[in-house]
Amino acid sequence: MKRKKRRRQQVDLDAARALRDKSMTFSDEFDASDPEETEVKLDTHLSALLDRGQIKTKKKGTDLYLDDVLVDVLGKSEDDKLIEDARLFRVLISSYGGEPTDEDMDEAYDILTSIVEALNGIEGIGDPHGQAKIAFD
Amino acid sequence: MVLKALAIHMDKLKLRLIKSLRARAETAGINWSDFSEQTIEVVIFGSRPIAMNRHDSDLDVLAVGTAARRIKKCGLDLIIISTSDLGSPTWLGSELAGHVARYGLWMKGQGDWRGKVTSGPDTWKQKERRLISLMRSVRNSWTQLHPLFRLKYRTTIRRELQRLLLLQRSVPIPPTPFLDSEWQAGKVQYRALVHESEFICGEDRNFMLESVLD
């Protein structure tokens, strides 16, 4: 039982690296003035990771979000602060009940920055530029 | 007799929801007595008051307090609006205000603002703009989207079209599971939604009919 728990908490480094690189690209593209385009861009990046097999999901017929991917890749629990922040990020950029405000989008961007920082801080994840080079090779 | 039974049912529902709110708020690190002191209205809305929630649905709560804030954690989606925003045309004309006014269940306060809610062209025109922007973004990325995300946007666009048509008729937006049940029951047809939406034209219309609705 203990071994099972430990395995669940392990970070999938390759997936975390791929997610970190995509998150950095997404962070550069993040357009606070265009919430719809921003939401679709994130899903396009997650799609690329899924299509290349860099991340996996068991989800069928239900929505997949950045917080779900972070749970799988980082082995974090649902109530981890980073996961909760990612969940808030999802809500802020979507426009349930109306258009996200500028403040919503600014807050979302701050959360995205903290996610990138958290991914960059993972031990053994390596330098983003180095990884980008490997990806090009 | 029926009214009395209904009143008992509502009291039980309110009690259950307030217990759930308190538990979620405390898990989310919100001090319950501070929250109670600093809010003049607390309303639960969304799928739970009409018992159409999934077991993992968030508890959607609107509170009126001193400062605007949004908290989404531990199964709680809490929107706090400030007392000064409560009377503003922006709030009173918003989709959310219309929804809460019609479907919200008041745990605290009276909701005197409910009678001032408006649903004018500004509200549905904003929805129309969002839909156009969303459709274009989805169209431009459609081939790059994984089937999971294509399904997500099919659903999102369909729900938004349903909401738009309701807003245009000045009907408050019901909770999302209600929109889905209308769809599943065949009361709403995707093609009819697109055809009724005159603002969807040209390439957007072709995309909606040929790719999204395939």
The answer to whether the Cα torsion of A76, A77, A78, A80 is positive or negative is negative
The reply to whether ipTM tops 0.90 is no
Mean pLDDT score of chain B: 89
**B67: number of Cβ within 10 Å:** 10
Predicted local confidence at residue B84, as pLDDT: 92
Q: Which residues from chain A sit within 8 angstroms of residue B73, using beta carbons?
A: 79, 84, 87-88
Return d(Cα B79, Cα B69) in angstroms, integer.
6
A 100-119 residues with CB < 8 A to B:
104, 107
Nearest residue to B43 via CA among B12, B68, B17: B17
Q: With an 8 Å Cβ cutoff, are B126 and A98 in contact?
A: yes
Predicted local confidence at residue B53, as pLDDT: 85
Nearest CB neighbour to A84, from listed B73, B140, B151: B73
Mean pLDDT of A66-76: 89
What is the per-residue pLDDT across A2-41, written as a single tens digit (0 to 9) for each?
Answer: 444 444 457 888 999 999 999 999 999 999 999 999 999 9
What is the per-residue pLDDT across B52-69, written as a single tens digit (0 to 9) for each?
Answer: 888 878 899 999 998 888
Q: Where are the domains of chain A?
A: 11-136
Nearest CB neighbour to A61, from listed B77, B145, B151: B151
Looking at chain B, which residues constitute the CATH 3.30.460 domain(s)? 2-116
Q: Is the pTM of this model over 0.80?
A: yes
Predicted local confidence at residue A132, as pLDDT: 42
- CATH architecture of structural domain B2-116: 2-Layer Sandwich (3.30)
Strand, coil or helix: what is A77? coil
Secondary-structure breakdown of chain A: helix, strand, coil percentages, each rounded to the nearest 5: 65, 0, 35
